[in-house]
Amino acid sequence: MVTVQAAPAQAIGHALELQGVSRRFGGLRAVQDVSLSLAPGERRAIIGPNGAGKTTLFNVIAGDLRPTSGVIRFYGHDITRLPPHERIRRGIARTYQTPLVFPRLSVLDNLYLAVRGVRPWRMSLRRPRATDPEMAQARQLAEQVGLGDAIHALAGALAHGQQRQLELGMALAASPKLLLLDEPAAGLSPGERELLAGLLLALDPGMTILLVE
């Protein structure tokens, strides 16, 4: 069970603010009275054993689950009851414990769909062209996460570490203000961990990051 207490938060100047957030499943208290705040550009980690409720807390912040009680604010706005897609639109992106990619599509197509998904008003059934702005952004994201030489590889054929890189690129497609990373280094070799750390350090310093391990 996750239980976090921090100093009383002031909404002004905070990227993310949780006040008394709890989530119960019947009689099970997965998250209990969590209060925390993150300033823009701040990077923090929530560390705890398996089953402590860390992923449940992420699901609540991302909107995949609603809190049983408490308030969540994002840049001063109450987002407690907003659905996930609206939180994405406002600038919250996340990764998962197991990378969520389309295994039968190429790296480039995965990133292209991520970019297009952020702009639903521009969705169409036509085939993408190399000159599409979204395709150019997808290629740029591939380079950013170290997959520029693997854009035509199927996502399902990538090594686990590369799938982590791809999922990170898909999350970055939304140009998030807040990036939630759920055990991003799980299952990675020392070399892959070092690569991931370098990618994260190279991100916009104004981006707020919260990760669990």
For the stretch 7-14, contacts whose Cβ atoms lie closer than 8 Å and that sit 24 or more positions apart, written own/partner, are 8/35, 9/35, 9/36, 9/37, 10/37, 11/73, 11/76, 12/76, 13/39, 13/40, 14/38, 14/39, 14/40, 14/73, 14/75, 14/76
List the structure tokens of 91.
């600038």
For the chain, the average pLDDT equals 89
Look at residue 37 in the predicted model and tell me its pLDDT.
97
Look at residue 212 in the predicted model and tell me its pLDDT.
92
Q: How many CB atoms are located within 10 Å of the residue 78 CB?
A: 12
Tens-place pLDDT, residues 165-199: 999 999 999 899 999 999 999 999 999 999 999 99
List the structure tokens of 74.
């994002």
Fill in the amino acid letter for 186: A
DSSP annotation of 127: P
pTM: 0.86
* Residue 119 pLDDT > 70: no
* Residue 130 pLDDT > 80: no
| Inter-residue contact 88 to 61 (CB < 8 Å) | no
Look at residue 131 in the predicted model and tell me its pLDDT.
60
Largest Cα separation within the chain, whole Å, is: 55
Instruction: Give the closest residue to 35 by CA, choosing from 18, 47, 14, 60.
Output: 18
* Residue 89 pLDDT > 60: yes
Q: Classify residue 155 as left (phi > 0), alpha (psi -120 to 50) or beta.
A: alpha
Q: Kindly list the structural domains of the chain, giving each domain's residue range(s) and its CATH number in brackets, ordered by start.
A: 16-90 (3.40.50.300), 107-212 (3.40.50.300)
